[in-house]
Structure 1
Amino acid sequence: MADKQSDTLLAAKVPKHYGRVIINLENCLLPPERLACTASCLDGLDPETEMDLRILGCELIQTAGILLRLPQVAMATGQVLFHRFYHSKSFVRQPMEITAMGCLCCASKVEEAPRRIRDVISVFEHIKQVRGGKTIEPVLLDQGYINLKNQVIKAERRVLKELGFCVHVKHPHKIVVMYLQILGFEKHKRLVQLSWNYMNDSLRTDVFVRFSPETIACACIYLSARKLGIVLPKKPAWYLLFGSVETDLKDISIRILKLYARAKPDADQLDKIVSKLEQAYQESRQRLKQAVQEGGASGVVSGGTATPVKNENHSTFSPGVAVAAVTQQPEINKGISVDSAGSTPSSSKGEEKNHVTSTITKKSSRVVDSPPRSPSLSPSEKQGKDRRRKSRHHSHHHHHHRKKRSRSRSRSRSRSRDDKRREQRERGDRAGNDKDNKRKERESTQKSTTATSDRYGGGEGRDRERDREKERDYKYRSKDNHSLREEKRDSKKERSRHRDRSLSRDRRR
């Protein structure tokens, strides 16, 4: 008992740790094992080609941002999002140009300077035409444009999903100016400008997923001071004041300087390499799918299941993955009862065949013996039948009463609505017949009056008769108009009543 009490006391003292979601800027820095082997490398793309594709994508984002008159912060955010995305996805499976458009659209919204997708597509097409030396033509708003626009929207969503909606980027541009003010070089224009230029060029490398923005700012100042031959404090070292290490500063400086030693990437050559790898990936995927289908079919025949092997280092199937062997499972005979356990397979099959034929003959006899359908019923008979069906349904099936009652209600309401429409139609026909009868009566009375007036030969009598006819016509017209107005009013009331009824039904639901 004493041990149990001590355990409960310890459990009460030790706080419980629950899982939580932490989103901060340190999460954007990737570990070394993730940086060493990217998704593109797993799909067969060599590191140099991948670096050229990264540089080309960032150059596209920068040039398009200048043409769209975006702020530098938005262009920098787009390039950082581009690098982050392609550290988890492959260039072989996600097209570089469309992803660059999606990153630019997303960055413009993040930095509160949104641009239309149509403008982004037009600018990228313009850049492509200028680089290819083609005649500059506007983008046609055809089906191809609509498909491209949908692809850009999907790419933007994919970027957001892959980054977990953590799209905030802390840029080191302000940090550079602040550090130079602390060091007393804020009025040295060449140092400030060169540090700023190195900062913008570093966006084309992957230093923003490797180091913090404070370290990158220190590296840009370090490289600029070495380039201009400016001496900075050494005892103690100035970068220690900002929490940086010299090895990291040298690493960033080397990565930035390597950019200027590289040849300009050829877009057409890179497209050919990526298209070859993409074709190989699609073929391997098709082969894998066929093998899985064949394995699944053989597994169904032999009572087993086929499971394809998934690459642990990648989120999807890689091209070089082989299909796993089909695992066999023991057959379970579910159709044989306990009494017929000792019977032979042939006898059991014969019994199953006889059972199937008997069930078929029963069904066919049911179909033949089914009574003929009743003739069409009048609306009142239908309503009575619905009421009887509802009462029978409530007595027997009480557990499904809500769903079926709503159906019967809607049916009865629709039927009553049809009856009302039919009555209105009949009323209109009756009114039309009454009008014809009245007109005939008027014609007959007019003939008789003219005959009497001719008989007695009085012009005054004719005038009086005409006046009476006019008064009579006016009365009939006013009566007809009044009846039409009443019918319209009744139809409006019926419509409003039906609308109130449907609203109350929706509220009850």
Structure 2
Amino acid sequence: MEKEELVSRPYGKIVLSLDNVLLPPEKTATSPSHEDGLDEKSEFELRFVACELIQTAGILLKVPQVAMASGQVLFQRFYYSKSLVRLPMEHTAMAALCLASKIEEAPRRIRDIINVFHHIRQVRAGKKISPLVLDTNYIALKNQVIKAERRILKELGFCVHVQHPHKLIVTYLNLLGAKKNTRLMQLAWNYMNDSLRSDVFVRFTPNAIACACIALAARREGVPLPKNPRPWFELFDVTTSDVHDISVSLLKLYRIEKPDLEKLERKVADLDKSLKDAKLKARLAAGGTLSAGNTPLGAGGSGALSPQLPFSNNASPSTANKENRASSVTVVNVIDDTKRRKDEPVANGVEEVKRRSRSRSRSPSRKRRRRSSSDKRRKHQNGARDSSTSSSTSGSSSEGEDSPRGKKKSDGSRRNRRKEKRRHRSRHRHHRRDQHARSRRRVKKGKARSQSPSVSPRRRDDKRGRSKTDKRAK
């Protein structure tokens, strides 16, 4: 019993089946766009223009007709769950075409789809055709198309399969004995493609749409179809009311004037702005009165700061507690630092703010560089001059004070001068030796160059000193 109960429990609200392709009448009666203030005529025109854009873009992208038809059906389904006022029509049309091309195994890149829609818009507006600039606006548009594609999948519950009645037209005409009447078949096929601009695919079954297209084509061409004892379409489980409603919806497409897309977009933008303003006013009215406790000062408005810091606008209590804890730690550290400085003894009656260590760590920037002999000589002379001045000053101070510390300092300075002289002599000696070696090399090179270029040096190949040329001569 427990196993049966677990199996019969439903796991989701979305039913994935081939029969789940039609919307119920209560959902098609009023659309979300109509609830947002868009009139029925404007909604019909927007749907018509979007489906035409999908069809034209599919032709330019060389997408199969099945993919174009699937994109238009997905577009019609989506805007029965979302509003044309809140979500832009063009982005959804691009996303529907991109998704349909993937479903029908003829995928196209989003970049190509955006370029084609940009080209169609320029042609319709009569502007000079120019390529789309790949800037930040293009990247933002591409991201919007990707988001719209995800939104379509989410709203439709991934039920993206579409039953197309194109094959049914050929099958039904074969059964009616009009297989050789190619004109009748082509006209019924054209009615079928035009019906994609309307919402008949989300309200009626594919066999009903195929029968209505055949009935309209036969009526226009004057081809008689059997009516007695019953109409021929009842053979395919189609009622007279369905054929009548579909025919009226199709003929309505040929009576409307060409819609003005710019005017429709302005109308939608105005409605969207009014909705956003109303939403903002309602939000302000709901949260307009603020309590006195929200101020950063303490309770009662006394002006004294509270011991705990106030929360930031977007901070949660946990993050605020962390900030308060960190601020208290920093305050304690500052207080301890000031106490330590006060307890430390002062040097020469002046408090020392910064103490540098005497041991200097040699950084890469302070590495000793090689100096020339002139730089070394100049440095040595400056050092000797400085040492003589320091010795004279130390001598005068020692004479004035007559302290043993001054004598020790003077002895140390003399010792340092002697060491520096010895170092300088050794460097000078090594430098002179290197100079002589360089001059000798230059003399040797000069002698080698002074020889005539015609006389080539002999190469000694054996112990006796005979060259290869002598060997050959012998």
> Given the two structures, how large is their TM-score scaled by the length of structure 1?
0.58
- Partner deviation per Cα, 1:454-499 (whole Å, 9 max, x = no partner): xxxxxxxxxxxxxxxxxxxxxxxxxxxxxxxxxxxxxxxxxxxxxx
In the TM superposition, 1:355-504 aligns within 5 A as 368=335
Mapped pair 1:133 → 2:126:
yes
Cα distance in 1 between the residues matched to 2:244 and 2:144? 40
**Deviation of the 1:368 alpha carbon:** 3.8
In the TM superposition, 1:310-349 aligns within 5 A as none
Cα distance in 1 between the residues matched to 2:86 and 2:162? 26
In the TM superposition, 1:197-346 aligns within 5 A as 197-234=190-227, 235-294=229-288, 297=290
Change (3 A) 1:81 1:372: farther
Mapped pair 1:76 → 2:61:
no
Structure 2: 5+ residue stretches without partners: 309-324, 342-363, 368-425, 437-474
Decide which structure has the larger Cα Rg and report it. Answer: 2
Cα distance in 2 between the residues matched to 1:290 and 1:202? 46
- Partner deviation per Cα, 1:271-320 (whole Å, 9 max, x = no partner): 1211211111121122122223225x35988xxxxxxxxxxxxxxxxxxx
**Higher-helix-fraction structure:** 1
Change (3 A) 1:365 1:249: closer
Cα distance in 1 between the residues matched to 2:167 and 2:223? 21
Aligned partner letter, 1:192 = M
Picking from 1, 12, 18, the partner of 2:9 is 18
Cα distance in 2 between the residues matched to 1:300 and 1:222? 75
Give the match's secondary structure for 1:102.
helix
Cα distance in 2 between the residues matched to 1:199 and 1:115? 25
Change (3 A) 1:16 1:131: closer
- Partner deviation per Cα, 1:74-100 (whole Å, 9 max, x = no partner): 110110011011111111111111211
- Partner deviation per Cα, 1:363-403 (whole Å, 9 max, x = no partner): 97896458969xxxxxxxxxxxxxxxxxxxxxxxxxxxxxx
Give the match's secondary structure for 1:261.
coil
Change (3 A) 1:203 1:356: closer
Mapped pair 1:150 → 2:176:
no
Change (3 A) 1:253 1:293: same
Q: State the partner residue of 1:176.
A: 169
Give the match's secondary structure for 2:112.
helix
> Given the two structures, how large is their TM-score scaled by the length of structure 2?
0.62
Change (3 A) 1:283 1:233: same
- Partner deviation per Cα, 1:121-165 (whole Å, 9 max, x = no partner): 121111111111111111122222222222222222221222122
Q: Equivalent pairs: percent with the same residue? A: 53
Give the match's secondary structure for 2:288.
helix
Q: State the partner residue of 1:379.
A: none
**Deviation of the 1:240 alpha carbon:** 2.0
Picking from 37, 44, 47, the partner of 2:37 is 44
Q: State the partner residue of 2:395.
A: none
Change (3 A) 1:300 1:142: same
Cα distance in 1 between the residues matched to 2:340 and 2:157? 64
Aligned partner letter, 2:132 = V
Cα distance in 2 between the residues matched to 1:16 and 1:108? 37
Give the match's secondary structure for 2:8.
coil
Aligned length: 338
Cα distance in 1 between the residues matched to 2:162 and 2:130? 36
Give the match's secondary structure for 1:217.
helix
Change (3 A) 1:365 1:58: closer
Give the match's secondary structure for 1:255.
helix
Picking from 98, 111, 121, the partner of 1:105 is 98
Structure 1: 5+ residue stretches without partners: 1-9, 302-344, 374-424, 430-439, 451-509
Give the match's secondary structure for 1:166.
coil
**Deviation of the 1:241 alpha carbon:** 2.1
State the superposition RMSD in angstroms: 4.2
Cα distance in 1 between the residues matched to 2:109 and 2:78? 22
Cα distance in 1 between the residues matched to 2:333 and 2:4? 74
**Deviation of the 1:16 alpha carbon:** 7.0
Give the match's secondary structure for 1:99.
helix
Give the match's secondary structure for 2:201.
helix
Q: State the partner residue of 1:312.
A: none
Cα distance in 2 between the residues matched to 1:365 and 1:141? 55
Give the match's secondary structure for 2:54.
helix
Aligned partner letter, 1:144 = N
Change (3 A) 1:236 1:299: farther
